[in-house]
Amino acid sequence: MLPKFPGIFHPPGKSEDTPQALFRTEHRLIRAADSREILIYATGTCLSNGQDLPKAGCCFVYRSSAYTQRGDLTHGGTIRFRLEYKGPSGQHYRQTGNRAALRSVLAALQFRDWSKDCNESWRSIVIATDSKYVASNATERVKIWEGENWLTYDDELKCHVDIKNQDLWNSLMERIAELQSAGVRIRFWNITEDLNARTINFALQACSFHDEANFRVPSYFGPTGVLYMRNRI
């Protein structure tokens, strides 16, 4: 049985290994050395982060871009959307870059039942993100937070405070537990921004989309991967 919490992905060879070198660009981003492992890029960003009127965008990529028979470049595997103002419980939250990055990972794993995708082919998913906040906390600190009732000590305030984005962390851990109980291992790979530049660019574009008030779970329609939100490319 797989563990409750996600793990860290360690490239098998040199430290300069890249996602492009390890994962083939086919109908999914499939590991060259393991045909049952796929990679999903994810990131989030926020304009005016920490200032007035912040606007955050999210993006994940589960399939490479492809050309149609007419020669048009399509991005059907690239999902971008505005960060919603409300979380899963309906509570309102401030838009931040960290929250957008976390939201993008949750959306990627909720996008479909990966344990049944492509005739139940996958047994491992690697989330490649430039967000250290997401990668480090998901693999190291979440288990501590759960044990401490989602509280942490604030040295400046001299008291315990709630963990930020607890609603999304809870939802993400629930989704990871579902997938791992179905036999799909989840690991995180903290990559550099230059290796995630394309995803970051689409997340930046999503910051300019219309405001989204309510939290929505992605829907998947058919083998080409059509998105639930209108801001699809």
**For the chain, which residues make up each domain, given as ranges?**
7-206
More confident residue, 152 or 190: 190
For the cut 90, the answer to whether the pLDDT of residue 2 exceeds it is: no
Q: How many CB atoms lie within 10 A of CB 221?
A: 10
Quote the mean pLDDT of the chain. 87
CATH of 7-206, one of 3.60.70.12, 3.30.750.24, 3.40.50.300, 3.30.420.10: 3.30.420.10
Total count of residues recorded for the chain: 233
- Residue 69's pLDDT band, with cuts at 50, 70 and 90, is very low
pTM for this prediction: 0.87
96-152, pLDDT tens digit by residue? 999 999 999 999 999 989 999 888 889 999 999 999 999 999 999 999 999 999 998
Question: Of 190, 80, 215, 207, which Cα lies nearest the Cα of 133?
Answer: 190
Residue 79 CA, distance from chain mean position: 11
87-97, pLDDT tens digit by residue? 999 999 999 99
